[in-house]
A and B are shown apart, each in its own frame.
Chain A
Amino acid sequence: MTARKIMLLGEIGVGKSSIAQRLVFNRFETDYKPTLGVDVYTYDIETGTDADPVTTTKFIIWDTDGNFGESVLSHIYIKEAAAALIVGDIARRTTLLRMVELGNSFMEAMPGRYCSFLINKSDLENAATELPQDLIKSPIPMLRTSAKTGENVKNAFLRAADAIRRRGL
């Protein structure tokens, strides 16, 4: 089985750890525990179509400290990452704006790697802020997720796995 490294990036408190926990353990914790440094998870994900044989990819998920900001892109942590999922909080506009900056920097630092925006906390629809134009116009694909309900969480990783396979990363 091939192992691939995937980064969870984004501002502090946007729900990166919750997304990892939902994917790997199918649970959601309401108590906020900040990540200091990195927490590393493993998750085996199957991809494939009728035309392609099913393949299993072992994801090594690096859930990073939100305080790193863009400095994470020059850190040893990011070495050999095949993909990054950049997370923002639908109710906090500043985190959505930071996503675009992080996404652009990631694409520049790691050309050819897969990158996707996750607009998290979609369950908080009432508190949702208007998506910044820069985010809407960005060529980086976007997905609304909710670690709380599980909406699109697995889908986000499936898309990443599929892209990694197609791109031969």
Chain B
Amino acid sequence: MPSSEQQMRSGDADSDPTLMAHLRRRAGELLGSRGVFGLVWLDKSLMVHSRFGTLVDFIAIGEPVTRNLIPLIGLEAEVSGLKAGQVLRVPSVAIVTENGTGPRLNLVFYAFAEEELTLLVVSPAQMDTSLAIELSRQIRARLMAESEAAAKSQELARTNADLEIANCKLEQFAAIVTHDLKAPMRALGFLADEIEGALLASDAASARERLAELRNQARRVSCMLAALLHYSSAGLSGALIESVDTRELVDEIVRSLPHGNVKVTLQGVWPRIETLAAPLGLTLRNLIDNSIKHHDRKEGHLLVTCMEAGDALEIALADDGPGIAPEHHESMFLPFRTLGSAGEGMGLAIVQKMLDAVGGTIRLQSDAPRQRGVTFTIRWPKQIAL
């Protein structure tokens, strides 16, 4: 509450115009000297005519106002076009220089009917700055957290989908293994019973015959288990990215495989690439071996062609063997699937497994028995993410 003396003085001042003018000028001087506002008068060509207040000390008199207030560049027409009574506001502007960010200022232009000059009132844009900064920080943090959560949930969905596929494959694999191993195991049981029967009947010849069969079945089970182990261990674990001369790799595979009756020809462009050498070698070895092993004629031909297809190598292996009937195309890549007597039927399953691991694909084309031959085309990515 103001004292009665203060009230009286205030009342006195109101009634004394000279004192009032003095007080106003004094108040203006105080506010200007403390940087509460600054005043700049501009002529029609936006040259600085005069200025008042420490806040606008940096604005040079006699110079275009844009020289020191660069945010006004581009707004000259707006300012000089102001009509009497009009106001133009450019709020919350800061000039950034090598020395840091200058004060954030509100720039307000006034035009007067009786004056040739335009008045620019400059004031600090305080507007709860610290609160606004904190609010902006919080908003940004929330947005970042939201996007991180979205990315994680996307990643989780992807992992779940991968897991589902893996589970599906595992179930399929377990079913195949159980089914395919069951038959020879059952045969072992039958043979043991028969041997026992033959021994009880003192039929040594028959017992010997059954024993030989039992050995064969046991060998078959052993081979199947070895193949299964090979299949299970086929993967990228421990594989290294190396510089691979693809033609040399295939040449070496062909040299190392017995391919007496099948002539292998290489065509196309075989580049040197940085890739997982061992998995690529294993894939090609199984495919080449498959074509040679299943060839059913005295003389045969396997044509291996390579071409670059965007971000992958496309390698096609076309043979003139018996081919694969369309109804077997899908099952050929499952473990223990073979159409002939050669091998354990794991080669193509291993190829599929390797390609899945590196992000490649395989395509099978064959129309047996209408037409002989089969073509396997693999796409091997040039860049492999480990």
Contacts and interface: CB of A to CB of B under 8 A. Distances in A.
Given A5-B73, A39-B101, A79-B74, A91 B143 contact: no
A39 B74 contact: no
A35 to B, nearest CB: 8
A58 to B, nearest CB: 8
Nearest to B125: A37
Nearest to B92: A37
A65 B96 CA distance: 14
A28 interface: no
A127 B151 contact: yes
B136 A12 contact: yes
B74 A13 contact: no
A40 to B, nearest CB: 5
A41 B144 contact: no
A27 to B, nearest CB: 10
Contacts of B94: 37-40
Interface residues of B, number: 34
B143 A94 contact: yes
B4 interface: no
B140 interface: yes
Given A13-B144, A91-B147, A80 B75 contact: yes
Interface string A97-133: 0000000000000000000000000000001010000
Interface string A8-27: 00011100000010001100
Interface residues of A, number: 36
A47 interface: no
Contact of B89 (A3, A34, A76): A76
Interface string B133-157: 1001101100110110011000000
A36 B129 CA distance: 8
A137 interface: no
A42 interface: yes
A34 B150 CA distance: 23
A81 B129 CA distance: 27
A144 interface: no
B165 interface: no
Contacts of B143: 11-13, 92, 94
A123 B136 CA distance: 24
B382 interface: no
B78 A93 contact: no
Interface in B48-73: 70-71, 73
Interface in B169-201: none
Contacts of A129: 147, 151
A62 B94 CA distance: 10
A40 B93 contact: yes
B151 A91 contact: yes
Contacts of B136: 12, 34, 36, 65-67
A40 B78 contact: no
B98 interface: yes
A60 interface: yes
Contacts of B146: 94
Interface string B192-227: 000000000000000000000000000000000000
A137 B101 CA distance: 38
Nearest to B138: A34
Contact of A60 (B71, B127, B137): B71
26 contacts: A3-B73, A5-B73, A11-B143, A12-B136, A13-B143, A13-B144, A24-B96, A32-B140, A36-B104, A36-B127, A36-B129, A36-B133, A37-B91, A38-B71, A38-B93, A40-B93, A42-B70, A67-B136, A76-B88, A79-B75, A80-B74, A80-B75, A80-B77, A91-B147, A93-B150, A129-B151
Interface of B: 70-71, 73-75, 77-78, 88-96, 98, 101, 104, 125, 127, 129, 132-133, 136-137, 139-140, 143-144, 146-147, 150-151
Interface of A: 3, 5, 11-13, 20, 24-25, 32-34, 36-42, 60, 62-63, 65-67, 76-77, 79-81, 89, 91-94, 127, 129
Going nearest first, the 4 A-B pairs with the smallest beta carbon separation are A37-B92, A34-B136, A80-B74, A13-B140
